[in-house]
Amino acid sequence: MKAIWKGLLISAGLLAVVPAASAADDFYAGKTITVVVGLSAGGGYDLYSRVMAEHLGKHIPGHPNVVVENRPGAATRTATAYVYGVAPHDGTVIGNSLNMLPLDQVIFPKQRRYDLTKVQFLGNIAGLTSVIAVSNKSPVQTVDDITKKSAKLGSNGKSSETYIIPALINSFLGGKLEIILGFRGVAGVDLAIERGEINGRGGSWNSFRALHPDWIKAKKIKPLMQIGATDDPYMPGVPQLSSLAKTDEQKAIFSLLSNTTRFSRAYWVAPEVPKDRVKILRDAFMATMKDPEFLAAAKKANMEISPSSPKEIEAALHELANTPPKYLKKMRDVLSK
């Protein structure tokens, strides 16, 4: 009799455990996951998100529908604040912020309605080298020209690399780059470049390769300088911004800019999302990065894929948080003008 009761208790215990595990696995069945992109459609961030969204759902138990929603404004700060504080915190909303936002946050910590050190990262699709690129009609055609001639560069906001990098170049290197604000995304900037209204923009070189391969082939656009932890193989001979540094201060600040590439295409959910759902999303994200169909779609779209894990992203955030205050103050002074 004792053996029978023991068997019944074990069976009951197993039955009690199974629904909890199933609840976590079945949560996404019949649901829709929204990837919120803080820029308008037609740019590099939008492209990466849409290609990922096409393949992410099949790696999540329950196979939810995955859609992309564009919420442009304030260089993705608007969308970041929405995902962090307003959107449902149940694991059905994924954020995607500009790579400069973690640096922007440590420079201006009191001006933000979010804290990217507290969000739960799923992973980063690629660490993309930033660039300042100019058209063949630009007065500035070489790095040496920056201090001698003026060029109009389009920008989608003061928290974007399209503003931060040229602003710091002007301040530290005596550049004459004119930054034109007001664009809601790179699609608008690129249209202005094509019309000859402006001379170029910042961003990733991969963005140009993916969105405008015809420009590159026809030599209508060229990288003036690159900003990254390593040299981009698609920009041979193009100087790194860090190589132009003349003082220890410049070296430290340019190094910070180079390291923002580690957030180039990072995705995250709010701090309150339950851990079991975060694990499901992280596992699905990494599975997508290895998915042959995703990789084939990325190759077709000229998208670079070099995934990094949440731990690697968190380590990069930790480094930013430990930036010497004197360098943050210097950047704050420049970018507050």
Do 255 and 231 belong together in one domain? yes
- 332 in a structural domain: no
Q: Is residue 58 included in any domain, yes or no?
A: yes
**Residue corresponding to tokens 């169909």:** 293
CATH number at residue 284: 3.40.190.150
Residues 6+ away with beta carbon under 8 Å from 245: 172, 251, 254
Q: Is 21 within a domain?
A: yes
Taking the C-alpha atoms of residue 102 and residue 34, their distance in angstroms, rounded to an integer, is 22
pLDDT, averaged in runs of 10, over the chain (337 residues): 44 43 78 96 95 98 98 93 98 96 92 92 96 97 96 93 95 97 90 97 94 96 94 94 95 93 95 98 98 98 96 93 94 93
What contacts 297, CB < 8 A, 6 or more positions away?
51, 54, 55
Same domain, residue pair 204 and 96: no
Question: 208, 232, 260 — which closes off a domain?
Answer: 260
On whether the CB atoms of residues 137 and 196 are closer than 8 A, the answer is yes
Of the three residues 204, 227, 260, the one that is the final residue of a domain is 260
**Residues 110 and 215 grouped into a single domain:** no
Domain boundary among 243, 260, 277: 260
Position 20 scores a pLDDT of 45
134 domain residue, yes or no:
yes
- HEC assignment per residue over 118-162: CCEEEEECCCCCEEEEEECCCCCCCHHHHHCCCEEEECCCCCCHH
Quick check: 302 and 209 in contact, CB under 8 A?
A: yes
According to DSSP H, which parts of the chain are helical?
A: 2-26, 44-56, 77-85, 101-107, 161-173, 186-195, 205-211, 213-217, 248-259, 275-290, 292-300, 310-321, 325-335
pLDDT at 267: 98
Structure-block tokens of residue 160 = 């974007």
Query: Distance between CA 25 and CA 91 in Å, rounded?
Result: 12
Determine, yes or no, domain membership for 331: no
Provide the token pair at 7. 């068997």
* Cβ contact 94:273 at 8 Å: no
Are the C-beta atoms of 167 and 253 separated by less than 8 Å?
Answer: no
| Number of structural domains in the chain | 2
Q: Does residue 243 share a domain with residue 274?
A: no
Question: Does residue 330 lie in a domain region?
Answer: no
Domain identity same for 187 and 282:
no
Domain span at residue 201 reads: 130-260
- What's the CA gap between 242 and 229, in Å, rounded? 9
pLDDT for res 248? 94
How high is the pLDDT of residue 185? 83
Q: Quick one: 255 and 267 in the same domain?
A: no
Please give the torsion angle defined by the CA atoms of residues 94, 75, 128 and 117, in that order, rounded to the nearest 10 degrees.
Answer: -60
| Same domain (yes/no): 243, 135 | yes
Residues 181, 294: one domain? no
Nearest to 152 by CA among 169, 171, 135: 135
Cα 157 to Cα 281: distance, rounded to the nearest angstrom: 30
Contact 107/332 with Cβ under 8 angstroms?
yes
Residues 49 and 157 in one domain: no
For residue 106, is it within any domain?
A: yes
Determine, yes or no, domain membership for 3: no
Residues 200 and 278 in one domain: no
pTM, whole model, 2 decimals? 0.87
- The pLDDT, as a whole number, for residue 12 is 44
- 228 plus 298 within the same structural domain: no
Contact status, residue 45 vs residue 98, Cβ threshold 8 Å = yes
**Which pLDDT belongs to residue 184?**
82
In CATH, what number is assigned to the domain containing residue 218? Answer: 3.40.190.10
Q: What number of residues does the chain have?
A: 337
Whether 123 and 270 map to the same domain: the answer is: yes
Q: Quick one: CA torsion of 188, 191, 195, 197, rounded to 10 degrees?
A: 30
